[in-house]
A and B are shown apart, each in its own frame.
Chain A
């Protein structure tokens, strides 16, 4: 049997399915004979992973074996514990493992420690009360056990540095003893005293000493000693040296140690071994943060590495360059990166390097022209791999201009962009994201400078829509662009002749399966039929940066609702209360809940919720609370309406939450009904809020620095010059990067409070649902780090007050179809209260999941308007304005919604 199982392991290892034999392996561990048992344990650890169903059959045996008198049995069981015990079964074995920490055999103690470490990784709370045991084991007589204890301590310290500051002294003294060869000879490795333990200790010290001067001072001597003692001819010696450099670069800087670190790095870089060069480059990247000047002496070595045939080394060098990019060398570096990007096929790395290019370009771009060209290159070569946000950023940049006050520069830039895009359109195959940008720019600015006729541009756009006929997003962009161009023409008083291909395209779209395309086509038709004045106000030229005020509370519906209720309609009851279910929000949330509800439940079931009554407001209530609304269950017969909560003046945060819940759930539910999702949403466009079109204000607020023209660095084939361009003039660059333009250091934080730069009217619709990293903002990068508040509700509260002051109900509108295709208009929120709540643009976007408005049946615009809009023209105007701003697809961020809506 044993032989068979071993063969089975072999079979499994070769990649075949051996699951039929798993149960036999499980049986073997029940065997009395150690020989068989050991094989059984080996087999199960190799066959099963921690989620496997058979684990439950093993736990009992493990429990028994952990109590065995034979330490080898215990060891075998502990090996299995480390691999197989999952979060749910930890409590079953935990007490026994803790007992084993005092086992006379050091092998058992060691494995018990490692098992606890494993538990900590799986579920930190399960062993949180055992931390003192780790500390105790640090003083174990056996160096092996002590060494093993460093692993869990390292993890613990990574998570919480401050509770372990007291251990600095002990770690330092242990390290000292190790370095002085106080450990048994058996731990020597290639004449180095216990190097693995040294490395682990250095890692821990690096954590403890990071930005802690006092703790760091304790370490200086011992780290210096190790630097001196390390034998740099052996591999392991270099490993320790490297770890020392990491430690030095992490702890509070000490000039002497930095010097030895720099020496070690230069030895690495000068070495012939690629491994050492690689480590040298890596170490340089670490040290450069502390002392940027050391890069200069190694410039030639770095250039060598950049041109090395070894791909790994090359990538590492690019990483280093990325770290040392400044505004003086950005052009060289990004060009290099793009060249390299073009030469590789590995999508994973391509994505990474593309996003780095974008980041650097955004951060340090010397000129806008250059920025656009660079982005074009990136899009062309890696368009499908870059984040959609990048495209939105680019569009915004073109739309807003670049902060200079003179408009001519902006328009020059736009026409050059148009020109380059028209040129690029000739290429046979372009990535979808890039096409979206192109369509948008052409629609917005194609005819702006009068160089190209409308029919030429529209012809091009039709070509795009035809050539990429299976990409609906691109088609949608193209149609909207067409609409804009025609609108501009009409507004300018010219007669519009639709090209024949455009006509046929429209006909096709009018019958399209995609509701979005259909709607856009109908809108185009409607717009063309209007007179110049109406069109002018629907689609004003060059207004994409203006803000739109959206009545997200839908307060304009109040009258309607009131009327309906008086006629005896049922007030609206939120979905959740009707069904008694709490968690049917959108699909993503659902997934999330399902995921989290898997597994055994130990705790008791919750009590039923009592809140139902409290949440149904009396029917007579005015608009301040949840406004009752007809029961939205009959889409074919009566109009469904949304909850109409408006921001009441004394709204408390709880109320706000409540409101959000309702909204979100409605939204989620609707996605379940295919019939309602076809209803088109034009109806909702009757936005009561006043649209603020205030161009001059936008321009003025953007009084950013114009950046000086800087020295043009030439790329020369010679290394020397390249080196000069990469490394040259660091002092000058310091200044420049400090004034930082367009420094948008991407960070994963959602919300940034960002002091007096009110340039944040950065058309809020763009940021609406995206994350802010692509917010172009113009402050110094350091400002960004100011405590990003992670609690969305806090921010909401903060947001609420200014909003009420300004008494502009934040309006809100969106389309029904938003759910699926991201490019259909999302929600566009805007807050009129300019400077004092910068967060709002993000927040209001987030906090208002799009509400749909369902109108019965297949709604054409006419039906929709007659039902909802007080006036066809008005509603169309608003809609179109929203549409125009709304290039930004609302790619929803599931995490955010989860955060906000639980």
Chain B
């Protein structure tokens, strides 16, 4: 398991997105969030982007008002994780077109879909931005089609997808 969880926290400490790849109970989750936002939000600007935390390492990066955090094993490659975060942000950017925090607040489920295309069970599954965007777009077009043809049968949808 490369990545244990992904968090997006705003500068005010609001949670914007959480994805847990290891099992955490609800109590643990809120504890993690509380502890980490305390640690990360208070760190100075020119310090390094890594925090050692309970024997694990948390890699974080700030984009505008959002902190992207990923928690990894102690022997992981931090710089790589930093780039995975950046990779995710670039894909988000490409998908939403200059993404901002509001995009993520109102379309957080889409952010989840995108994350699911990049990471799966804590591992990087796809490192090509184009492939990720394409597959998310394919899902979306299908959804659009479903909206247009309300009342249509599932076979229609499949036919549409096959085009």
Binding site for B on A (CB under 8 A): 6, 9-10, 13-15, 17, 32-35, 38-39, 42, 45-46, 49-51, 69-70, 72, 75, 79, 82-83, 107, 110-111, 114, 117-118, 121, 143-144, 147-148, 151, 184, 186-187, 189, 194-197, 199, 235-236, 238-239, 242-243, 246, 273-275, 277-279, 309-310, 312-313, 315-316, 348-349, 352
Taking a contact as CB atoms under 8 Å apart, the answer to whether B125 and A110 are in contact is yes
| A34 in contact with B146 (CB, 8 Å) | yes
**For the complex, is B101 an interface residue (Cβ under 8 Å from A)?**
no
B50 and A32 contacting across the interface, CB-CB below 8 Å? no
Q: List 9 A-B contacts (CB under 8 A).
A: A13-B108, A42-B113, A70-B158, A72-B138, A151-B2, A189-B127, A189-B129, A274-B48, A312-B48
State whether the Cβ of B121 lies closer than 8 Å to any Cβ in chain A: yes
Binding-face segment, B63-71, B72-80, B92-100: B72-80
Given contacts A14-B15, A42-B112, 18 further A-B pairs with CB under 8 A are A6-B109, A15-B15, A17-B26, A33-B146, A33-B157, A34-B142, A42-B116, A49-B23, A69-B158, A70-B157, A114-B121, A147-B126, A151-B123, A236-B83, A279-B78, A279-B79, A310-B44, A348-B55
Contacts of A310 in B (CB 8 A): 44, 47-48
| Contact (Cβ within 8 A) A79 B127 | no
Take A6-B109, A35-B143 as given contacts and tell me if A13 and B161 are in contact as well, using a CB distance cutoff of 8 Å: no
Q: For residue B112, which residues in chain A have a CB less than 8 angstroms away from its CB?
A: 42, 46
Within 8 Å CB of B33, what residues of A? 15
Pick from B19, B50, B154: contact of A278, CB under 8 Å: B50
Query: Within 8 Å of chain A (Cβ to Cβ): is B87?
Result: yes
**B77:A243 contact, CB within 8 angstroms:** yes
B147 an interface residue at 8 Å Cβ cutoff?
Answer: yes
Interface residues of B in 1-49 (CB under 8 A from A): 1-2, 15, 17-20, 23, 26, 29-30, 33, 44, 46-49
Q: Does B124 interact with chain A (Cβ within 8 Å)?
A: yes
7 A-B pairs with the lowest CB-CB distances in the bound complex, closest first: A239-B79, A274-B48, A196-B127, A186-B130, A310-B47, A186-B128, A82-B121
Q: Contact at B129–A186, with CB atoms within 8 Å?
A: yes
The chain B residue with its CB closest to the CB of A183 is: B128
Contact residue among A147, A243, A312 (Cβ-Cβ distance under 8 Å from B52): A312
Q: Considering the chains assembled together, what is the distance between the CA atoms of A278 and B17 in angstroms?
A: 28
The distance from the CB of A36 to the nearest CB of chain B, in whole angstroms, is 9
Contacts of A199 in B (CB 8 A): 77, 80
What is the minimal beta-carbon distance from B59 to any residue of chain A, in angstroms? 9
Query: Are the CB atoms of B108 and A32 closer together than 8 Å?
Result: no
**How far does the Cβ of A89 sit from chain B's closest Cβ, in whole Å?**
15
Minimum Cβ distance to chain B for residue A101 (Å): 15
Contact A144 B128 (CB under 8 A): yes
For residue A680, give the distance in angstroms from its CB to the closest CB of chain B: 42
Query: In the complex the two chains form, what is the Cα distance from A230 to B124 in whole Å?
Result: 21
**Chain A residues near B46 (CB-CB < 8 A):** 274
A144, closest chain B residue (CB): B126
Rounded to whole angstroms, the CA-CA distance of A107 and B116 in the bound complex is 12
**Partner pick for B109 among A39, A107, A148, CB 8 A cutoff:** A39
Contact of B108 among A10, A45, A83, A246 (CB under 8 A): A10
CA distance A83 to B122 in the complex (A): 10
Instruction: List A contacts of B55 (CB < 8 A).
Output: 348, 352
Task: Tell me, in angstroms, the Cα distance from A275 to B51 when the chains sit together.
Answer: 11
Q: Which residue of B lies closest to A273 (CB)?
A: B48
Is B17 a contact of A13 with CB atoms below 8 Å? yes
Give CA–CA (A247, B17) in the complex, Å.
Answer: 35
Task: From known contacts A151-B123, A279-B78, infer whether A274 and B47 are also in contact, taking CB-CB under 8 Å.
Answer: yes
State whether B48 touches A118 (Cβ < 8 A). no
Count contacts between A and B, CB distance < 8 Å.
Answer: 166
| Residues in A whose Cβ lies below 8 Å from that of B49 | 274-275
Q: How far is the CB of A891 from chain B (nearest CB, A)?
A: 23
- Chain B residues in 8 Å Cβ range of A316: 52
Contact of B121 among A69, A70, A117, A235 (CB under 8 A): A117
The answer on a CB contact under 8 Å between B120 and A82 is yes
Among residues 104 to 152 in chain B, which have CB atoms less than 8 Å away from a CB atom of chain A? 108-109, 112-113, 116, 120-121, 123-131, 135, 138-139, 142-143, 146-147
B89 within 8 A of A: no
B50-64 vs A, CB cutoff 8 Å, 1 = contact: the mask equals 111011000000000
In Å, the complex CA distance between A14 and B116 comes to 20
Q: Which one of B17, B82, B125 contacts A235 once the chains associate, using CB atoms below 8 Å?
A: B82
| A residues in contact with B84, CB < 8 Å | 196
* Complex CA–CA separation, A275 to B123 (angstroms): 22
Given A50-B23, A79-B116, A197-B127, A312 contacting B83 (CB threshold 8 A): no
Complex: A114 Cα to B25 Cα, angstroms: 24
By beta carbon, the residue of chain A nearest B1 is: A121
* Nearest opposing residue in chain B for A151, CB measure: B123
- Cβ A186 vs Cβ B131 within 8 A: yes
Expressed in whole angstroms, the minimum distance between the Cβ of B18 and any Cβ of chain A is 5
Whether A111 contacts B83 by the Cβ 8 Å rule is: no
Among A42, A72, A75, the most chain B Cβ lie within 10 Å of the Cβ of A72
Complex contacts, B44 vs chain A, CB 8 Å:
309-310
When C-beta atoms are compared, the residue in chain A nearest to B158 turns out to be: A70
Q: Give bound CA distance, A3 to B29, whole Å.
A: 24
A194 touching B127 by the CB < 8 A rule?
A: yes
A38: chain B residues at CB < 8 Å are: 113, 139, 143
Check B120 against A79 for contact (C-beta < 8 Å).
Answer: yes
When A34-B157, A278-B48, A310-B48 are in contact, do A196 and B80 touch as well, CB less than 8 Å? yes
Asked if residues A34 and B127 are in contact (CB atoms below 8 Å), the reply is: no
B-side contacts of A348, CB under 8 Å: 54-55
**A72 contact from B54, B129, B161, Cβ within 8 A:** B161
Q: B157 contacts which chain A residues (CB < 8 A)?
A: 33-34, 70
Report the minimal beta-carbon distance from A152 to chain B, rounded to whole angstroms.
9
Q: Name the one of A50, A147, A197, A275 contacting B79, with C-beta atoms under 8 angstroms.
A: A275
Q: How far is the CA of A147 from the CA of B125 in the complex (A)?
A: 7
Query: In chain B, what residue has the closest Cβ to A114?
Result: B120
Cβ-defined contact, A239 with B15, below 8 A: no
Nearest CB of B to A338, in Å: 19
**Chain B residues with CB below 8 A from A275, complex form:** 48-50, 78-79, 82
For A185, give the chain B residue with the smallest CB separation.
Answer: B130
Cβ of B126 to closest chain A Cβ, rounded Å: 5
- Rounded to whole Å, the gap between the CB of B131 and the closest CB of chain A is 6
A-chain residues with CB within 8 Å of residue B30 when the two chains form the complex: 15
* Inter-chain contacts of A151 with B (CB < 8 A): 2, 123-125
CB-contact partner of A114 in B48, B79, B125, B158, under 8 A: B125
CB distance from B28 to the nearest CB of A (A): 11
For B126, list chain A residues within 8 Å (CB).
Answer: 110, 144, 147-148
Alpha-carbon distance A39/B113, docked complex (angstroms): 10
Across the two chains, which residue of chain A brings its CB closest to B135?
Answer: A107
**Whole-angstrom distance from the CB of A439 to the nearest CB of chain B?**
33
Residues of chain B within 8 A (CB-CB) of A246 are 77
Assuming the contacts A42-B112, A117-B123, A147-B127, asked whether A35 and B146 have C-beta atoms less than 8 A apart, the reply is yes
Known: A275-B82, A278-B78. A111 touches B146 (CB 8 A): no
- The reply to whether B121 and A83 contact each other, CB–CB distance below 8 Å, is yes
